[in-house]
Amino acid sequence: MYTPAITGTGVYTPDQIVTNDELVAAFNAHAEKFNARHADAIAAGEIEAKQPSSTEFIVSASGIHQRYVLDKTGVLDPEVMHPHLPERGNDEPSLMAEMALDACAKALERAGRRAEEVDLVICAASNHERPYPAIAVEIQQLLGAGGFAFDMNVACSSATFGMQAAADMIRTGSVRRALVVNPEICSGHLEWRDRDCHFIFGDVCTAAVLERADEAKGAHFVIRSTRCATQFSNNIRNNNGFLRRTREGHMADRRDMLFVQEGRKVFKEVLPLVSRHIAEHMADEGIEAAELKRLWLHQANKAMNDFIGRKVMGRVPEAHEQPNILQDYANTSSAGSIIAFSKYSDDMAPGDTGLICSFGAGYSVGSVLVERAG
């Protein structure tokens, strides 16, 4: 058995930012137009008028100040309210692969590795541009990596579940070096016209190089253990599968064909699930709360992270012990905890222990316990 380690990470950040103020202005203009267009039906009580959104609510309910997106013009056009992401031809790289190349190049550089030295690519994300051929195989080919590649989807937990899969394969020797890449185009599956969630998501791509610890070329994080768990829930759901066409014969403008959540229920049900999951993972590894130097949590909601941090550490964690990036990136699904890890881990000392944890639809929760080395 070999010991797996994370030897490099990379983050691709789109260059377009949407601030809360810009977003709220677009949403409110859309709501006004909608209400004017449906004035008669609203007056007759047939449909509900749209209420305005506000920057104050977004910040207090979520902690989000801005988000990065691939295209802000469509998102901010009250007549459009979704990103303009033209379909790519079969002879062009897919959008997800393009984002992945940037994040993978950065991760490989930090690991001191070349793409040809990689023999596994896992593209783990909450939505994929197409069912097949796998985006991961396209990334493998564009990078010039060897071995094999596959896609996986465990919603917001995709990155940690992908790391567990890669770490297990490295442990047993079936692969030597893996790239786990998480291109998340959340702007594509967000309903920007729904006040309850229009502020939640942003776009990003993260990548991590995993390889045998004894082959690491520089400072790295040994993966002490991983743990994944799932429990079925409809409280975060997207029905946009291929059967929609056989059901309806056309692409209907149905609300359930994009991200839908019962935010309050998610809050209530996921918090105990995640706190228990982390406590049990740490107990099984003999790690006391006082030994945990850092928590890189899924980035969906600041209040949620504050709660989990307090529960896990047994006190209010210092900001540097539980770094948040959601104020800048919003919820980037599976990539969130990896952005936090990538940006806030270099300062850790050899022997320091930390835990990456993601959670979300499924429900799903995945944790990766790491120790700084080298």
Write down the least CB distance from residue 209 to ligand COA, Å: 26
Q: Of 22 and 168, which has the nearer Cβ to ligand COA?
A: 22
Q: Of 224 and 302, which has the nearer Cβ to ligand COA?
A: 302
Could you tell me if 84 and 184 are in contact, meaning their C-beta atoms sit under 8 angstroms apart? Answer: no
Write down the least CB distance from residue 302 to ligand COA, Å: 9
Report the interface residues with ligand COA, using CB under 6 A: 53-54, 57-58, 61-62, 156, 195-196, 236, 261, 263-264, 266-267, 300-301, 304, 331, 360-361
Alpha carbon distance 361, 124 (integer Å): 14
The DSSP string of 351-374 is T-EEEEEEEETTTEEEEEEEEEE-
Rg over alpha carbons for the chain, rounded to the nearest Å, is 21
Q: Is 357 a catalytic residue?
A: no
Pick the catalytic residue from 104, 123, 156, 357: 156
Q: Of 61 and 273, which has the nearer Cβ to ligand COA?
A: 61
Token pair belonging to 212: 């045998």
Q: Of 61 and 257, which has the nearer Cβ to ligand COA?
A: 61
Write down the least CB distance from residue 61 to ligand COA, Å: 4
Percent helix, percent strand, percent coil in the chain, to nearest 5: 40, 25, 35
Q: Of 107 and 326, which has the nearer Cβ to ligand COA?
A: 326
Write down the least CB distance from residue 254 to ligand COA, Å: 20
- What is the tally of helices (H) and strands (E) in the chain? 12, 13
Could you tell me if 207 and 104 are in contact, meaning their C-beta atoms sit under 8 angstroms apart? Answer: yes
How many CA atoms does the CB half-sphere of 187 hold within 13 Å? 29
Write down the least CB distance from residue 128 to ligand COA, Å: 16
Computed from CA positions of residues 10, 161, 127, 69, in that sequence, does the dihedral angle turn out positive or negative? negative
Name the residue with the smallest CB distance to ligand COA: 263
- By annotation, the residues acting in catalysis are 156
